[in-house]
Amino acid sequence: MEIIHDKKNKSFILPLDNGLKAKVDYILENETSMKLVHSEVPISLRGEGIGKELVLKTFDKLTNEGFEATAVCSYIRAVAKRHSKWSKIIN
């Protein structure tokens, strides 16, 4: 599944089966920095690893686009700290 950067709505969207989606919302601080403020997975799909996949794909996408980020959402922050690749990149 490919993650979509919806710049208009300031979110990263992971399309799922049956028209469902998971998303990470952010606040843009400046042209290259954002705060990741919220992550959401449909209730019916929680506990299946989709949240982790969503967050890791979000990290890949935002860094590939030249952004740096601060994790405000506690779940996003926890995922960053558990993965050495991201623990020094995502504040």
Under the banding of pLDDT at 50, 70 and 90, the label for residue 91 is: confident
| % residues pLDDT > 90 (the chain) | 79
- Do residues 78 and 90 touch, judged by C-beta distance below 8 A? no
Beta carbons of 5 and 23 less than 8 angstroms apart = no
Biggest distance spanned by C-alpha atoms of the chain: 36
Count how many domains the chain has: 1
3-state per-residue secondary structure call for 64-76: HCCCEEEECCHHH
Give me the CATH number covering residue 25.
3.40.630.30
Phi, psi of 18 (to 5 degrees): 60, 30
Tell which residue, 33, 41, 37, has the closest CA to residue 16: 41
Q: Is residue 9 predicted with pLDDT exceeding 90?
A: yes
Residue 46: count of CB within 10 angstroms of its CB: 12
| pLDDT tens digits, one per residue of 32-61 | 999 999 999 999 889 999 999 999 999 999
3-state SS class at 58? helix
Which range marks the domain in which residue 16 is found? 4-87
What is the arithmetic mean of pLDDT over 21-40?
96
